Structure 1
């Protein structure tokens, strides 16, 4: 078996449709974003965030793109920018959303459609398996 370059191997993760693999690169990029999200575990921090989201975000050394992603509640973008879904759960919990409600927004499905898909066993393994090859 030929030895594969680690960068080529990791690049293959970006070819999985509808999936963002949480790699070390993403973890490094999202460190402060995830720390912000974890800060929302404390009630006093949730209250400060809800009172003035932008001011609270500006206390964190996150990128402007990450801050805007939080303000927009664009969870797919936040995953791309290094957010970890389990940490981001603190954001949507602060908004009063369940995991199912928040994740359905990431799929383009209604809550009912998403829940039905998951109850039926999740996304079908049939269909597009590669973004670049579209099969």
Structure 2
């Protein structure tokens, strides 16, 4: 499938186009690995978003912590997770959000070997 991103129902395919679209969002989230940046973000989240040039939709998703929307707007889980950690959220929490499960249900599904998509 040259030049075509395959569609997988219920998933986000993070390809080059999504990477470009989410660049500002991912840069912001990636910057949160630095303690000083975390402090600046926490002090004024809206201003921090503006400094990174997020689109209005990305800014809204970050401020509302709409994890699914961040992914739809080009977010990479590897970067968005840094924001989740700042909020004290686990990867299992995000997995639950992304799959429509509670954290506990998602964790149990992992322990049971994952979900079946067939």
Query: By the TM > 0.5 criterion, same fold?
Result: yes
Q: Distance in 2 between matches of 1:125 and 1:101?
A: 20
Larger radius of gyration: 1
1:79 paired residue number: 71
2:10 paired residue number: 18
- Runs of 4 or more, structure 1, over 3 Å off, are none
RMSD of aligned alpha carbons: 1.3
Shift of 1:106: 2.1
1:94 paired residue number: 86
Please report the TM-score for the alignment, with normalisation by the length of structure 1: 0.81
Shift of 1:103: 2.3
Q: 2:22 aligns with which of 26, 30, 36?
A: 30
The question of 1:42 aligning with 2:34 is answered: yes
**Ranges in structure 2 where 5+ consecutive residues have no aligned partner:** none
Q: Distance in 2 between matches of 1:88 and 1:5?
A: 29
2:57 paired residue number: 65
Q: Could you say which structure has the greater relative contact order, defined with CA pairs below 8 angstroms and 6 or more residues apart?
A: 1
Q: Distance in 1 between matches of 2:31 and 2:77?
A: 15
Shift of 1:61: 1.2
The alignment of Structure 1 onto Structure 2 pairs a total of residues equal to 118
Q: Distance in 1 between matches of 2:91 and 2:55?
A: 25
The DSSP-based 3-state class of the residue aligned with 1:58 is helix
